[in-house]
Structure 1
Amino acid sequence: MNKVARVFAAARVLADRLAALSGWRRRLTLVGLGALGALALPPLSLLPVLLLSLPALVWLFDAAPTRRAAFGVGWWWGCGWFIVGLYWISYALLVDAAKFGWMIPFAVFGLSGLLAVFMGAATLAARLVGARGPGRVAVLAALWTLAEWLRSWMLTGFPWNSLGSVWDVSLPVLQVGAFGGLWGLSLLTALAAMAPALLADQPSSRRLALVGLLTVLLPLAAWGGGSLRLAQVPPAETGLTLRVVQPHIPQGTKWMEGRREGHLFDAVTLSRGTSLDGIKAVIWPEAAAPFFLNLDDAHRAYAALAAPPDGLLLTGALRISPRGEDPFRLWNSLYAIAPGGPIVALFDKAHLVPFGEYVPLRWLLPITKITNGSTDFTPGPGPRTLDLPGLPPVAPLICYEAIFPGQVVGRDQPRPDWILNITDDGWFGLSAGPYQHLAAARLRGIEEGLPLVRAANTGISAVFDPLGREVARLGLGERGSFDVVLPRPVAITPYGRWGDSLPLALVLACFAAGLAFRKTSP
């Protein structure tokens, strides 16, 4: 038996063993495979695990005897993927464990089960359309990507840890995001990682060549094209210097009455540690000023001590409706403050975190949001381009908003020259969460062809150029600041111009190709 035949035989043996599983053994195997696949996510980025996790999913899909079982293949795999990929959500509930600790099983396991429905829907849909033969990999990959896209906007949307996010480890491959966005990366990943499942089919040189094309040449072509783009577009700067401050305020003490003055003092001290001459903006993270700065003139004037003489302080802080206004409202905002304290611009966060900033179905659920206070936040109007004195136009993203592809620039807004992402990842401790959040924000810049400036309370604060090249960074759990020259944007990218239209067209083409190559048996 030659080497090629042995490869096919080994794959067939593994596929047969998986097909023989039933009941709880089958379910546990799928959960384990999903959990294994999640090790490819940042910060571990162990990409090779997908070459076992996803082919095994295909083999178990092939062996599913019923439609219900086909749904279960995607659902149980998705449960493992999300439990491991989103375990860090529990850290936010431990900030006040006495009050919210009981919610951990619901937040981790319940949320994972809900999100896994989209994966189950993908495998069920593949069964319903009769995905067979070599084409089943293309059909599954297309429907998997479509399910991730649906997850990004249904039920308010939660595109965290989509399959394409595993490529944060490879800047050249990330350049695919400029053309196909996150969904183009997801489609590429699904095709490449599911293709080895074809090795369990009838041995043939054509089948082996197809596996090589999808698993090796497709990612290699993406890497080569991305490397060429990186080489052809050198870094460029605007000449404007920014100072990014990372105050590292523990989440458990941030809103303590006796500590808030000290937190504001520390942020000002870090901002003025060296001369502010030549600095155009000092940037603080989300809610870095723990006061309602729109009505608190004294604390706003003190915060303004961090503003450069010829520049601005850009800081996150809460905002409340004026006294006497009914109903009372609360916003999570970005303030642009000039020397002396005047507010020259405001941006209100639009995409709020369920249960973190508001309680869905509050009339039905007897719980409170995990952030301070009982009042739900009010969403802002959506993506905006801010014109700030002395600075290029900017697209602000507050925390959670950075995970949503195609929601950086408003449809009726002028194109900005950079993205400003302020966030407070102190909720998630020293976990994978801040690394995954940073990876998502970085990809937004690549998708739009815009530099990204990110200020985080406990890290990771960083600056990337419009191709995702790192310019500066302050690590997770560090306290300090850094000065950086703002990079220049590049010309609008295909994804920035057409949004999800291009990747969805690729998904449709992949689906059609898969159906064209289906056969009556694998």
Structure 2
Amino acid sequence: MTASNTPAPSSRIHEWLAARSTWQRRGIATAVGALATLGHAPFQLTLVFVAAITILVWLLDGVAERKNKLWSAFGVGFFFGLGHLTTGLYWVASAFNVDSGAWGPIWGIPATLGLAAGLSLFWAAGCALAMIFWTSDARRIPWFAVSIFASEWLRGHLFGGFPWLLPGYVWTPGEPVSQLASIFGIYGLTLLTLLVAATPAAIGDAGRSAGLRFAPIIVAALLVGMGWGWGAQRLDHALVELPGTQPIVRVTDSGLSQSEKWVARPDQEWRVLQRYLEASGPPEQSRASIVIWPEGAIPTLNFFMLENPDFMDAIGRGMGDRVLITGLTRREALVDRVAFYNSAAVIDGVSGVARLSQTYDKNRLVPFGEFIPLWSVVSRFNIAPLQRIGAGFDPGAPPTRLVVPEAPPAVVLICYEAIFPGMVPRGADRPGWIVSVTNDAWFGGGSGPYQHYAMARYRAIEEGLPMARAAAGGVSAIIDSYGREVSGTMRRGGFAEAQIPPALVETTLAHWGNILLGLLLALIAALRFFPRRIENKGLRA
């Protein structure tokens, strides 16, 4: 008799869950999904996330014997995702409150719930996929991990992708376990995290021997221990930069909220510029040769920064001979229209004269935030993007290396581009460091900026490259190639300053890509179909 056809003896937890009504179970799934959010930044309560995933497996055990088990599993997964993503993405409503006259909470709350519900369909699909090959023994655990991994991978890639709150992010970046991302990437770490988090569910398998019930969690503990040990050893051998071999960089923030930055005044651009120049410090007193301002640092109310000679002259006087890397809005006249870009510019100061060196136009734009999909149709309803720039921004080409005077070549990631693995060029085009400019003031004062910051740090681990991050209304810091902070971080005004840490040789992930992830996925999936003989009240499976 196969294990999948052997009814599992009921444990007390299974009996209790089976006694709940359909909507009671969905309510439990919603609450447990919300609990899982505590595993992510700024809380990083990994064990709470493990508990939430364990209960999700038990909820799926409860629907495995139903005639409509696929639909029931879909419902359990949907409500788990709804609780998880609503509490994890609640800050989305803050963006609508910035321009309350145009949007306001009447739009922000339903928009947030709609986004969470749409993304919850991926968790629902993952649970339904898990139910197709569900078993009554521990082999359901690796298959559950593979199924949810598949749905999370799709969530990060379909329709432009939104890989926010991936399970792998429950490990604090820069600590030992997070170093596994240098081998398997965040998706590989997500797969391993789901596998480890689901193993305690086997303890509730009544009727099995103690060895069968506890073996999975022992194996999981060994996996975590080995991962932690390897990561700790990697950190012990971390490269230390020699004095004077890398330039000093300063990341700054004006300290203004999003609504304060966009106050409609004829001199508003000049007022904001003064805040940034103060945070950048006088040229003669600054140790930094490179200064970085966040995404869209200067508002575009009365003019475009690069098109105003007086404004550029003021930047040149304020920066001196330092290099400025700043986020900005720029426009370009095309044959049939004017295109707008969310950009970053490298401005090289020579004898107090600011010279535009290179620009990068953001490649991955935020739907409805920076552009409106199907604009020709949606425009009839008088809906504008949150950025309030016509139909929104045009996308640029994928990131490439930018030449930064007296520093290694850099790649710039603008805003949520930093949550997408693999955007940093590799091979011969690999840069020497990552510049992340973002405007986290859109996220409000809650957990959103900290989630964004934690995810960005994983790009440094994956690529083995240091990162300088300037975040308006968020966390600005200098990060080493292991995802660790090397300078004091700050939020809402001020600066952080440090020497650029050294880059590592290409990580395993950067060299091999997702080949090892594919092998890991095949291995874990194969565990579901691995035959084994177990004793269970006279029945052999």
Q: TM-score, normalised by structure 2?
A: 0.89
Which residue is equivalent to 1:312?
323
1:229 alignment partner, one of 226, 230, 234 = 234
Q: Pick which of 286-295 and 67-76 moved more.
A: 286-295
Deviation, structure 1 residue 94: 1.1
Which residue is equivalent to 1:5?
none
Which deviations, in whole Å up to 9, do the C-alpha atoms of 1:238-279 show, x marking residues without a partner?
431112112112201223342221001111122124635653
The yes-or-no answer on 1:251 pairing with 2:266 is no
Which residue is equivalent to 2:360?
347
Aligned length: 510
The yes-or-no answer on 1:333 pairing with 2:332 is no
1:82 alignment partner, one of 81, 85, 88 = 85
Q: Secondary structure at the match of 1:110?
A: helix
2:396 alignment partner, one of 374, 380, 385 = 380
Which residue is equivalent to 2:217?
212
The yes-or-no answer on 1:282 pairing with 2:253 is no
- Cα distance in 1 for partners of 2:14, 2:523 equals 28
- Cα distance in 2 for partners of 1:121, 1:131 equals 18
Q: Secondary structure at the match of 1:44?
A: coil
Deviation, structure 1 residue 104: 2.0
- In 1, are the aligned partners of 2:292 and 2:325 still within 8 Å (CA)? yes
- Cα distance in 2 for partners of 1:18, 1:95 equals 43
Deviation, structure 1 residue 307: 2.9
Which residue is equivalent to 2:247?
240
Q: CA RMSD in A?
A: 2.2
Q: Secondary structure at the match of 1:239?
A: coil
Which residue is equivalent to 2:536?
none
Alignment of 1:100-499 (within 5 A): 100-101=103-104, 102-168=106-172, 171-201=175-205, 202-236=207-241, 238-258=245-265, 259-273=268-282, 275=284, 278-291=287-300, 292-309=304-321, 311-322=322-333, 326-339=336-349, 340-365=353-378, 366=381, 367-409=383-425, 414-477=429-492, 479-499=493-513
Q: Classify 1:321/1:26 alpha carbon distance in 2 versus 1 (closer, same or farther; 3 Å).
A: same
Q: Secondary structure at the match of 1:198?
A: helix
- In 2, are the aligned partners of 1:133 and 1:517 still within 8 Å (CA)? no
* Equivalent position amino acid for 1:374 in 2: G
Deviation, structure 1 residue 390: 1.4
Which residue is equivalent to 1:97?
100
Deviation, structure 1 residue 178: 0.4
Deviation, structure 1 residue 489: 0.4
Q: Secondary structure at the match of 1:473?
A: coil
Q: Classify 1:52/1:130 alpha carbon distance in 2 versus 1 (closer, same or farther; 3 Å).
A: closer
- In 1, are the aligned partners of 2:466 and 2:481 still within 8 Å (CA)? yes
- In 1, are the aligned partners of 2:292 and 2:326 still within 8 Å (CA)? yes
Quote the sequence identity (%).
34
Which deviations, in whole Å up to 9, do the C-alpha atoms of 1:256-311 show, x marking residues without a partner?
342221001111122124635653211111111224233222212222334342x3
- Cα distance in 2 for partners of 1:294, 1:375 equals 21
* Equivalent position amino acid for 1:300 in 2: M
* Equivalent position amino acid for 1:86 in 2: L
- Cα distance in 2 for partners of 1:410, 1:295 equals 34
Deviation, structure 1 residue 209: 4.1
- Cα distance in 2 for partners of 1:256, 1:150 equals 40
- Cα distance in 2 for partners of 1:496, 1:221 equals 22
- Cα distance in 2 for partners of 1:399, 1:384 equals 16
- Cα distance in 1 for partners of 2:296, 2:408 equals 23
5+ residue gaps, structure 1: 1-7
Which residue is equivalent to 1:70?
73
- Cα distance in 2 for partners of 1:414, 1:51 equals 39
- In 2, are the aligned partners of 1:133 and 1:518 still within 8 Å (CA)? no
Deviation, structure 1 residue 188: 1.8
Deviation, structure 1 residue 399: 0.6
- In 1, are the aligned partners of 2:173 and 2:484 still within 8 Å (CA)? no
- Cα distance in 1 for partners of 2:520, 2:150 equals 11
Q: Secondary structure at the match of 2:454?
A: helix
Q: Classify 1:45/1:303 alpha carbon distance in 2 versus 1 (closer, same or farther; 3 Å).
A: same
- In 2, are the aligned partners of 1:289 and 1:315 still within 8 Å (CA)? no
Q: Secondary structure at the match of 2:76?
A: helix
Deviation, structure 1 residue 149: 1.3
- Cα distance in 2 for partners of 1:409, 1:204 equals 51
